[in-house]
A and B are shown apart, each in its own frame.
Chain A
Amino acid sequence: MDLFVNSDAATLSPVGLFLQADWVVKMVMLGLLAASIWSWAIIIGFGSTLNRMARRSAQYEADFWKAQDIDRFHDANGRVDLPAARVLDAGVREWRRSTAGKRVDRDGIRSRLHMTMAAAIGAEIDKLSGRLTFLATIGSVAPFVGLFGTVWGIMRAFTGIAAEKSSSIAVVAPGIAEALFATAIGLFAAIPAVIAYNRFSHSLDRLEARLGRFADGFHATLSRELDAEA
């Protein structure tokens, strides 16, 4: 019989609780801990990326609208690693390909420009939102995984009671504590993930809307260009 009855703070520490736990609960705890680490990595990394991207995109668009010659601006800044730059690149490429031939179908060019830029926007948003699905998964699943660990641990604690033939709180308490610790870790992983998911999906929506406005403006410019050439 273990002597963890008159438990002081040390035995109720995370490490102590983890070491006492059943292997199933241990696996649950380890998995949830890894999920928490990974979700915080995404939160930190993605958040900083998104912030930087929004700042640079605003700067890039401002520069674009100030530029006199779209071709020259594209040649100078078309390779920048920004969604707006890639949308611009897709539009300019399509424009050059469409206007290279002798016959110019204006309506066809307009619809193709619209399609290619919309596709570029979709590709950018897809690339960025790949990480967000992980946050959503953690936010919705981690509490259940933690709850599974808790239920398992409490079942084990009750088995312990039956084996000890004693229901004193000293026998039950460590098992219950270690079981509840699993739910605690699950919530610990899930709560930041849910908050970050909501915040980032909102940011992505704004980015998508902004890219759409940029593409529409660029499309309008090209469309005016087409009419002028006619």
Chain B
Amino acid sequence: MMSRAEKTGLGVAFSGHVLLFGLLSVGFLATPNPMKLRNDPVEVQFVDEIGLKSAFPKPAIEEPAPSIAPEIGMAQDSPPPAPTAAEPAPPAPAPRAAPQPAPVKPTPQKPTPARQASAPPSRNPARDVGSARAETPQPRRGSLLGDDFRKGLAATARRQATGDTPRAAVVGPQALASLGAAIARQIRPCYDLGPLGGTAAMDIVVKVRLQPTREGVVTRQRLEIAGFSGVDGSNSMYQARMAEVARNAVLNPRCSPLELPAELYEGGWQDITLNFIPRQLG
């Protein structure tokens, strides 16, 4: 059936194919992997920090400065001319019109009733301050300059403000989240999954408790693997290795000490628990 030429051809073709695929198998013409296609490092994220305590800044408790000079009442408009006046008398200037008794009925031209409540009974507003303040508590309008202000500045040398910046009572969840982001940013270059990347091991979330010193140094004693989540039958054998990856990332001298805001140390990153979520970027 097959001629001699075809048998030769078959032999040549077969050996040629074997040679070609053998060369390809040992990496002949293989493209190098210049970009080192690796999985992206993970992002550390807080998932269980909720705001149980108020992180609102403390309100200022300093009292306002007391008045020294006698307080004066509110500035008041002079009462408008009476609408009953039919004669075309020219409007009198305010000081002359002041003693004229105003009618009891409310004037329709004034749309602000708060002013009118106090305006009509006070004919001499400069002397009759007490009754007006008894009705509606007003902010004190006394001057801080007393009669003896020319005696020197010593009397006014008291502190006007305490100078303390209002501090948060506790480090709140938002501050903790930004702390977590800062820690994640610093740890990320050192978090190397290696051959575990892309495998089921990436489902494992490692919870790491850190107790850095004030200088941001984390030692092996100050680090504790607090737990795992996402472990199931397919990846339980990677559990220890994932914990080791997280520990190595934190302890890597390239990424330590942690540089974090010092004012958030106490109650903040003095004792902080992080979740390492490998699949955060997947």
- Whether, in the assembled complex, A13 has its beta carbon less than 8 Å from a beta carbon of chain B, the answer is yes
Spot the interface stretch: B19-27, B107-115, B171-179, B219-227: B19-27
Is B17 a contact of A40 with CB atoms below 8 Å? Answer: yes
Q: CB-CB < 8 A to B32: which residues of A?
A: 9
CB interface residues, B 68-122, toward A, < 8 Å: none
By CB atoms of chain B within 10 A, which of A8, A41, A44 has the most? Answer: A41
Range for the number of chain A residues in contact with chain B: 35 or more
Say if the beta carbon of A217 comes within 8 Å of chain B.
Answer: no
Instruction: Tell me if B10 and A45 are in contact (CB < 8 A).
Output: yes
Q: Is A37 within 8 A of B14, CB to CB? A: yes
Chain B: minimal CB distance from A200 (Å): 13
Contact of B10 among A38, A52, A169 (CB under 8 A): A38
Do B17 and A1 have beta carbons less than 8 Å apart? Answer: no
A residues at B contact (CB < 8 Å): 1, 3, 5-6, 8-10, 12-16, 33, 36-49, 52, 131, 164, 166, 168-171
The reply to whether A37 and B17 contact each other, CB–CB distance below 8 Å, is yes
With A38-B10, A45-B8 already in contact, the answer to whether A5 and B195 are too (CB < 8 A) is yes
Mark B residues whose CB is within 8 Å of A: 2-3, 5-14, 16-17, 21, 24-27, 30-33, 37-39, 195, 197-200, 202, 234-235, 279, 282
Task: How many A-B residue pairs have C-beta atoms within 8 angstroms? Tell me.
Answer: 99
Contact B9 A46 (CB under 8 A): yes
4 further A-B contacts with Cβ under 8 Å, apart from A41-B9, A41-B11, are A45-B6, A131-B6, A166-B202, A169-B198
Q: Please, could you name 6 A-B residue pairs with CB atoms under 8 Å apart, sorted by A?
A: A6-B197, A38-B10, A39-B13, A40-B13, A41-B12, A168-B198
Q: Is the CB of A13 within 8 A of B30?
A: yes
Q: Which of B7, B12, B198 contacts A5 (CB under 8 A)?
A: B198
Across the interface, do B9 and A42 meet the contact criterion of CB distance under 8 Å?
A: yes
The answer for the CA separation of A43 and B13 in the assembled complex, in Å, is 9
